[in-house]
Chains A and B, each alone.
Chain A
Amino acid sequence: MGAYILRRLLYAIPILIGVNLFTFALFFVVNTPDDMARLALGIKRVTPEAIEKWKAERGYDKPLLYNDTAEGLDKLSDTIFFAKSAKLFVFDFGPADDKRDIAHEIKTRMWPSLALAIPVFAIGLAVNITFALLVAFFRATYIDFWGVVLCVAMMSISSLFYIIGGQYLISSLWNLVPISGYQAGVDAAKFVVLPVAVGVVSGIGSGTRWYRTIFLEEVGKDYVRTARAKGLAEATVMYRHVLKNALIPILTGAVVVIPALFMGSLVMESFFGIPGLGSYTIDAIQSQDFAVVRSMVFLGSFLYIVGLLLTDISYTLVDPRVRFE
């Protein structure tokens, strides 16, 4: 298994290089370093010298991908792409284009992100499984039918309406919690409650429906019929047998998103004014801070690959029949 994990991690390297190249191309296809400098300096102070100085300070004065003037290997390494990307692989993010340290920003901003994302994930999973089990228990009855109808209806409402509705009802109308913002420490709870509630509720529709199909697939299997034939009560069949086996696809499906929780939810954070990584990224994109965008894309891709790896490992842990090649 160790060899397998190592191979998978090595396989991640070309993917991460590809990701970097892709972001790089996307950013510089229409945007030259000169444009970035102009935007960062503002309209008033733009002189050719100022632009050159800005570029030199941040290392944007080299050619983009291929350096004609350099010798040997330097033709490839003495470029913006190489200089900016190589260090990412040892997680040295360097300074942002506004000269603040990206690693420090990530360290301070990840906690608000996690404070929001982990409860949404955990509570959402529990709520969805509960509802799905309930609906599956009453399968082929009116409860099942209207449950599914309700799920489809809830899926059809844009998450924006959940957020606006939640903010209006709970914060404006009932004045229970602040409408947006964030404070570190224990006070965080009062700012996080509403976003978490909104996040959980908006996910119920699709989550419940998806888990319901998993449960129903499981209910049709032979071992369930055997359990019933032994004379077990329907509740025992559902909780002792079906739930346990259905958890395999549910949990392995959920594992893949765990690392991505770290990245925060872009939309929720910008709505509720939570200073997490999601809103950091949006700000960076809007101010065209390439250093930050590149770092966040790299981090996101890396976490995605870790998530895939964790999924594979979790398969073997919960289902002993699965073996690595």
Chain B
Amino acid sequence: MPVFLWTDKLIWVLVAVGAVYFWYARRHEHLLLPWRRVTHSAAGMVSLVVLIGYGAVGLLDSIHFRPRIESKDPSAPVAYSVEVLSLFDLLVLPLKVRTERTYSAPLATRAYVKETIELPDGKVVREFPRLRYAGAHLKGEAERTQDIFFTTVRGVALGFIAWWAVVSLATAWIATRRDRTFGAMWTAIRRGETEIPWLAVYLTVLALVLIGLPVGLLAGEYHVFGTDQVGQDVLYQALKSIRTALVIGTITTLVMMPFAVLLGTAAGYFKGWIDDVVQYVYTTINSIPSVLLIAAAVLMVKVYIDTHPELFPTAAQRADLRLLFLCLILGLTTWTGLARLLRGEALKLRELEYIQAAQAFGVRHARVITRHIVPNVMHIVLIALVMDFSALVLAEAVLSYVGVGVDPSMNSFGTMINGARLEMAREPMVWWTLAAAFIFMFLLVLAANLFADAVRDAFDPRVAVGGRPVAAAKDAA
């Protein structure tokens, strides 16, 4: 039975909006030009490749369903499990279901905690018990290092082959589009002579597959990032956290954008009392310390959810509503900045000749705003969208840590770090949860930051095509 979570719907709406925009921009040279500039930046393209990888995981994780419970009696009514799974869960099912009893170190075959074990001959010993799943295929534990080594080598070899195939296909495709021979195109790419930095893209893909494939192969037999206190695979948690981070980073901006665009442009365009009211509203919201606002709002929702359990058939739907609400409230605290920027821009635009001309022709205000003002401030919206993303991902971690973020049952970087913090004080220390959260989060935020910089450089009218600031624009600023 498919389950449509609120955030799923919004994510797919966002994907649809992106697709429509892409299709529309392809037909309009002036919209395409700044994106061309983004594709010419090496840092932008490298980070884009990484972000696409994260996005793929997040999207697969956004198709949810409830599996049917197999019943022996064929006449029984169809029942569905209360557990909500996603397509991504099916893909990595072994990671999800193979849970150990408690902590185990990365790639270990034995648990990290001593247990009392009764031997077949009746003797009782305290030792590190063998893990249920990790390395279960080995004949003896002595083979472990060897096995890991050969699996890694196999992964690297497979990675190279896969990379080679993908790169050849891509080069052939580019060559046909550019009307050049495969060999010439290949040489140009290898020498870095292409406009789009394909070499950097290829190398990023290589790095990703060379790390991803061995990890993927190893994850089939071991716990690559170990297991946590209840024995769940840490790699699985980190992968599941990606969706939460992406939802927070994108849906928040999506829900706040209409308000910011509408109120910001209206305030700048109409001036007068509308401007006063809008300014009053955003100064008021801005002056409330945002952490306080978020904390208060999230705790209120917690109370609401706790007192209305009948509204949520599954735990996932409950956690999802809280996530959605967190996005809404984060959006409420962040839209003011964008609205202020848009107001300033609209104030400037309304004095320009083409707006005056439209007004002189008797075009209605609503139409002037939607046809003439909004399209000319969209670059600001886009820059804000990508710049906010990394800040929001970081904010989620802090908020979940303080206890006012996502539902504790939901996988997120914040909840992972929250759980890992106490483990650092353990003796001996459990470091792998923190390490996994760090690596996955750092890569995501770094890629987002670099991509945001590339987008800003490409869309900011103050930066000329050559990358140098326009002198006149700079003096005006």
Contacts of A281 in B (CB 8 A): 292, 295
Q: Is the beta-carbon distance between B446 and A31 smaller than 8 angstroms? A: no
Q: Is the beta-carbon distance between B474 and A22 smaller than 8 angstroms? A: no
Answer whether A304 and B417 are a contact pair too, CB < 8 Å, given A157-B442, A266-B402. no
List the 5 shortest-distance A-B pairs measured between CB atoms, nearest first.
Answer: A18-B284, A300-B289, A156-B446, A156-B445, A301-B287
Contacts of B445 in A (CB 8 A): 155-158
Q: Is the beta-carbon distance between B287 and A304 smaller than 8 angstroms? A: yes
Answer whether A159 and B424 are a contact pair too, CB < 8 Å, given A31-B303, A297-B289. no
Inter-chain contact total with CB atoms closer than 8 Å = 122
- In the assembled complex, the Cα of A220 lies from the Cα of B475 at a distance in Å of 10
Q: Is the beta-carbon distance between A22 and B284 smaller than 8 angstroms? A: yes
Stretch with Cβ within 8 A of A (4 or more), from B128-136, B313-321, B390-398: B390-398
- In the assembled complex, the Cα of A192 lies from the Cα of B279 at a distance in Å of 39
Q: Is the interface of B mostly helix, strand, loop or mixed?
A: helix
Q: Is the beta-carbon distance between B401 and A160 smaller than 8 angstroms? A: yes
Contact of A164 among B297, B394, B413, B417 (CB under 8 A): B417
Stretch with Cβ within 8 A of B (4 or more), from A107-115, A233-241, A285-293: A285-293
With CB as the reference atom, state the residue of chain A lying closest to B299: A285
Interface bits B271-289 vs A (CB < 8 Å: 1, else 0): 0000000001101111111
B23 touches A (CB below 8 Å): no
With CB as the reference atom, state the residue of chain A lying closest to B468: A220
Contacts of B449 in A (CB 8 A): 152, 155-156
B96 touches A (CB below 8 Å): no
Q: Is the beta-carbon distance between B417 and A296 smaller than 8 angstroms? A: no
B441 touches A (CB below 8 Å): yes
Q: Is the beta-carbon distance between B300 and A29 smaller than 8 angstroms? A: yes
Given A159-B394, A300-B292, output 18 extra A-B contacts at Cβ < 8 Å.
Answer: A15-B280, A18-B284, A30-B307, A31-B300, A35-B303, A157-B438, A158-B397, A158-B413, A161-B438, A164-B417, A164-B434, A172-B424, A217-B477, A281-B292, A282-B402, A285-B404, A286-B403, A304-B289
Answer whether A301 and B402 are a contact pair too, CB < 8 Å, given A156-B390, A156-B446, A288-B299. no
Interface centre among A26, A293, A296 (most CB of B within 10 A): A26
Contacts of A266 in B (CB 8 A): 291-292, 402
A270 touches B (CB below 8 Å): yes
Interface bits B157-181 vs A (CB < 8 Å: 1, else 0): 0000000000000000000000000
- Supply 11 A–B pairs (Cβ within 8 Å), ascending by A: A15-B283, A18-B280, A30-B300, A30-B304, A35-B303, A152-B453, A155-B449, A156-B449, A293-B296, A297-B288, A301-B284
Contacts of A14 in B (CB 8 A): 280
Contacts of B390 in A (CB 8 A): 155-156
Q: Is the beta-carbon distance between A220 and B289 smaller than 8 angstroms? A: no
Number of contacting residues on A, CB 8 A? 44
Contact of B300 among A27, A152, A160, A297 (CB under 8 A): A27
Q: Is the beta-carbon distance between A27 and B296 smaller than 8 angstroms? A: yes
Interface bits A8-21 vs B (CB < 8 Å: 1, else 0): 00000011001100
- In the assembled complex, the Cα of A6 lies from the Cα of B292 at a distance in Å of 28
A263 touches B (CB below 8 Å): yes
- In the assembled complex, the Cα of A219 lies from the Cα of B340 at a distance in Å of 28
With CB as the reference atom, state the residue of chain A lying closest to B441: A158
Q: Is the beta-carbon distance between B296 and A285 smaller than 8 angstroms? A: yes
